[in-house]
């Protein structure tokens, strides 16, 4: 079937439409959500198998040939990220049954989650820079609803900030795309890449590179532009936070990865040096936040920022090995962040607060939760053989090979800081004697625990099975390092 | 002060249908000339807003018992359904089909599946506009 790459986008859309009609019945919404999310995962696996065997898959929308129409392109990188995003959404939907509350369930929570997945999968798949903007907007509009749904005071305050920042960055996005179009005369990403390599390293291209870095940096939360993230992400409840933390910033990172390998690789001494500097500052800022706060949500949120810095450093180094490391780490970080936020949500639910000083002693009543969280913490810090290790190893090794000593050492030290911050969290929540003794009645957390633990198990498998994942990642890296592969597949030359 | 809006209400009843017919005209013009689902949808919601101004929300709800949020879903269904129809024929997504037909009364007419997509846009625009206006109006 030639329309295969569209399925992971079309299924969430169809599900969202059906769910709008079912807004009265919560149980029907749950059933449809689970079926649709599972179907999305399955379709992504099928597309991935197809990409593995037959190379990059493209669909020219409306039969308009590239570069004139909109082309959807599923290369290995896109489909790996689509698959990861779909699996995370499935787990979050399952987790939501017991945690999101009937108020939100009755007000279009499930359709909006599907719209969010539609936007995320679309952003990963599209091969047209303006269409990328459209899918970004779908994703952002869904996130506006998710951040405000429920309408508590803190949500209303933070959503104003969030919407304002994103409206401005969307405006800059359109301006940048218009700029790019006036320079290259095309919107098809493969075609733009061809045109830019014809122009060579004109200063205007460098200006565009910085402009796009600002746009994607605002979404992806890199150093000076991350200011809105800690506040806004802390407002919504755990399942929404897990979706935001694991998907939204990563779409920004994906866009930087794509544009900086496909368009802006001509003036690397300037663009990639800026990127590398910002990456290191992002790591430092994230570490400071993660060590300073005494709050479950904030510590985990600042860990997002650290990961963003590490990923950007991998992109900035721009060798085959570092890009491979970035792809490894990107997928790892999506899975483990979702898992950690879901586990954090359970901890907050049990303790009734997210303040570390008021928590403690959970290990006695919830041992499995505690040990799973510890395992996830180790995976996050990148202790071998867990999943964070491979990506960080490749990024740091290529950093040393390119004599980026300072950067590599900062990445290494950041792992220690990450480990310290999450172990600190673990000790405070599970080990420490609580101020007020815990009630004897155990809260039921089984149905919350299963999807969160599933993500942690997936992350462990991803780490242990690195050997099996390796050929997939390398296929993704090939198309990034050699843009010709991507261009030939899209323009069919 | 109680206003007497007999004239306004009488005119609104007539003008409502004029706007609706004009919206339909604009909608069908859309394939070759300026117009289409978006403008048609806006005009139609303009007509409904006129009724809301002339009468009140309760009366309009009685006359048009539609859940506008469901209308959004219906519109999306038309849009996505038309695009997804291409899956059945194994042609790229969004590919549309058209042909010329001899219809009684109209003569030689071209029929496009793109019109169904536009109908979806029409419904979504009405649904979204009316939902927004109703939400703002209800709070007063």
How would you class A154 by CB atoms within 10 Å of its CB: exposed for 0-12, middle for 13-18, buried for 19 or more? exposed
Mean pLDDT estimate for chain A: 91
A60 interaction partners in chain B (CB closer than 8 Å) = 92
User: Torsion angle, CA of B12/B17/B23/B24, rounded to 10 degrees?
Assistant: 170
Smallest Cβ distance to B87: which of A3, A13, A62?
A3
H-only helix segments in A74-202: 76-99, 102-106, 109-125, 129-148, 153-184, 189-199
CA A438: distance to chain centroid?
A: 36
Give the whole-angstrom CA distance, residue A339 versus residue A322. Answer: 25
Confidence of residue B139 (pLDDT cuts 50, 70, 90): low
Please indicate whether, in this complex, the C-beta atoms of A59 and B69 are within 8 angstroms of each other: no
Per the structure, the complete domain to which residue A228 belongs is given by 4-491
- Dist. CA A209–CA A193, nearest whole Å: 13
User: Is the Cβ of A21 closer than 8 Å to some Cβ of chain B?
Assistant: yes
Cβ contacts below 8 Å, chain A against chain B, sum to 47
pLDDT value of residue B19: 95
| Predicted confidence (pLDDT) per residue in A433-460, tens digit | 877 777 777 778 888 899 999 999 999 9
- Cα gap B25→B20, rounded to integer Å: 9
Q: In this structure, are residues A147 and A113 in contact, taking their beta carbons and an 8 Å threshold?
A: no
Whose structure tokens read 């065997």? Answer: A53
Q: Which residues of A touch B80 (CB under 8 A)?
A: 10, 13-14, 17
pTM: 0.94
Q: How far is B124 from chain A (nearest CA, A)?
A: 12
Query: Which pLDDT score, from 0 to 100, does residue B98 have?
Result: 86
Please calculate the CA angle A246-A251-A255 and round it to the nearest 5 degrees: 150
> How many domains are contained in chain A?
1
Q: Does A3 touch chain B (CB under 8 A)?
A: yes
Q: Say which DSSP state B111 is in.
A: E
Q: How many angstroms separate the Cα of A329 from the Cα of each of A75, A80, A219, A493? A: 18, 12, 19, 33
Contacts of A3 in chain B (CB under 8 A): 86-87, 90, 92-93
Residue position matching structure tokens 């059945």:
B88
| A13 part of contact set with chain B, CB < 8 Å | yes
Q: Put residue B135 in one of left, alpha, beta given phi > 0 → left and psi -120 to 50 → alpha.
A: alpha
pLDDT exceeds cutoff 70 at A10: yes
Q: Which among A481, A316, A292 has a CA at the least distance from the CA of A398?
A: A316
User: Residue A104: pLDDT above 90?
Assistant: no
**Residue A6 forms contact with B (CB below 8 Å):** yes
Q: Residue A411: how many CB atoms within 10 A of its CB?
A: 24
Instruction: Look at A3 and B93 and tell me if their CB atoms are within 8 Å.
Output: yes
pLDDT of A439 reads 75
Q: Which of A220-229, A236-245, A417-426 has the lowest mean pLDDT?
A: A220-229
Closest residue in A to B83 (Cα–Cα):
A62
Examine the pLDDT at A161 and tell me if it is beyond 70: yes
CA distance A261 to chain B (A): 28
Lowest mean pLDDT among A13-17, A115-119, A337-341, B107-111: B107-111
The residue ranking higher by pLDDT, A445 or A164, is: A164
List residues of B whose CB lies inside 8 A of any A CB. Answer: 69-70, 72-73, 76-77, 80, 84, 86-87, 90-96
CA distance A127 to chain B (A): 15
- From A7's Cα to the closest Cα of chain B, the distance in A is 10
Are the Cβ atoms of A62 and B70 closer than 8 angstroms? no
Cβ-in-10-Å burial (0-12, 13-18, 19+) of B99 comes to: exposed
Segment B22-35, tens digit of pLDDT: 999 999 888 888 88
Q: Taking CA atoms, what residue in A is nearest to B97?
A: A62
pLDDT in tens, A175-220: 999 999 999 999 999 999 999 998 877 888 999 999 999 999 998 8
A55-69 pLDDT per residue, tens? 999 999 988 988 889
Q: Which residue has the tokens 């000076």?
A: A224
The rounded mean pLDDT for chain B is: 88
């Amino acid at each position: 079937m030639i329309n295969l790459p569209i399925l992971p986008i079309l299924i969430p859309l169809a599900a969202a439409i059906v769910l709008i009609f079912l807004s009265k019945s919560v149980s029907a919404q749950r059933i449809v959500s689970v079926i649709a999310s599972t179907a999305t995962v399955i379709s992504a696996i099928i597309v991935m198998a197809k990409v593995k065997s037959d190379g990059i898959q493209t669909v020219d929308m409306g039969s308009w040939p590239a570069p004139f129409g909109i082309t959807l392109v599923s290369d290995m990188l896109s489909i790996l990220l689509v698959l990861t995003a779909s699996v995370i959404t499935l787990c979050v939907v399952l987790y939501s049954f017991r945690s999101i509350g009937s108020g939100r369930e009755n007000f279009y929570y499930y359709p909006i989650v599907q719209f969010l997945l539609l936007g995320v999968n679309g952003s990963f798949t599209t091969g047209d820079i303006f269409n990328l903007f459209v899918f970004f907007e779908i994703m952002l509009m869904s996130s506006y609803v998710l951040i405000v749904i429920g309408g508590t005071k803190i949500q209303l305050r933070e959503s104003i900030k969030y919407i304002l920042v994103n409206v401005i960055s969307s405006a800059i996005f359109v301006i940048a795309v218009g700029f790019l179009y006036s320079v290259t005369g095309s919107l098809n990403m493969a075609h733009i890449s061809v045109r830019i390599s014809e122009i060579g390293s004109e200063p205007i291209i460098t200006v565009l590179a910085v402009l796009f870095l600002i746009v994607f940096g605002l979404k992806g939360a890199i150093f000076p532009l991350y200011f809105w993230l800690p506040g806004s992400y802390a407002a919504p409840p755990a399942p929404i936070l897990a979706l935001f933390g694991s998907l939204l910033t990563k779409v920004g990172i994906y866009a930087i990865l794509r544009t900086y390998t496909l368009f802006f690789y001509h003036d690397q001494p300037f663009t990639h040096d800026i990127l590398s500097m910002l990456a290191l500052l992002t790591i430092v800022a994230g570490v400071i936040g993660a060590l300073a706060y005494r709050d479950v949500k904030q510590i985990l949120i600042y860990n997002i920022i650290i990961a963003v810095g590490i990923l950007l450093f991998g992109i900035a180094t721009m060798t085959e090995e570092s890009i491979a490391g970035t792809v490894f780490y990107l997928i790892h970080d999506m899975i483990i962040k979702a898992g950690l936020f879901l586990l954090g949500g359970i901890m907050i639910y049990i303790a009734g607060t997210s303040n570390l000083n008021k928590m403690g002693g959970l290990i006695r009543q919830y041992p499995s939760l505690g040990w799973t969280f510890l395992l996830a913490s180790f995976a996050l810090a990148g202790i071998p053989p867990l999943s964070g290790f491979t990506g960080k190893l490749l990024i740091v090794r290529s950093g040393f090979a390119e004599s980026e000593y300072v950067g590599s050492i900062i990445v290494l030290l950041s792992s220690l800081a990450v480990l310290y911050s999450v172990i600190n969290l673990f000790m405070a929540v599970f080990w420490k004697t609580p101020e007020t003794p815990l009630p004897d009645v155990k809260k039921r957390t089984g149905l919350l625990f299963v999807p969160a633990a599933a993500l942690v198990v997936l992350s462990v498998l991803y780490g242990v099975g690195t050997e099996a994942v390796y050929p997939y990642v390398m296929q993704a890296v090939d198309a990034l390092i050699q843009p010709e592969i991507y261009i030939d597949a899209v323009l069919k030359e | 002060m109680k206003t007497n809006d007999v004239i306004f209400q009488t005119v609104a009843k007539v003008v409502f249908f004029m706007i609706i017919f004009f919206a339909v005209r604009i909608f069908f013009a859309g394939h070759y000339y300026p117009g289409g689902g978006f403008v048609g949808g806006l005009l139609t919601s303009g007509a409904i807003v006129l009724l809301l101004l002339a009468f009140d929300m309760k009366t309009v709800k009685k006359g048009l018992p539609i859940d506008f949020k469901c209308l959004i879903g219906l519109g999306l269904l038309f849009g996505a359904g038309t695009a997804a129809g291409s899956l059945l024929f194994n042609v790229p997504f969004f590919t549309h089909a058209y042909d010329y037909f001899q219809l009684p009364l109209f003569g030689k007419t071209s029929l496009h599946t793109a019109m169904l997509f536009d109908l979806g846009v029409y419904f979504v625009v009405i649904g979204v506009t009316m939902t927004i206006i109703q939400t703002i109006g209800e709070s007063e």
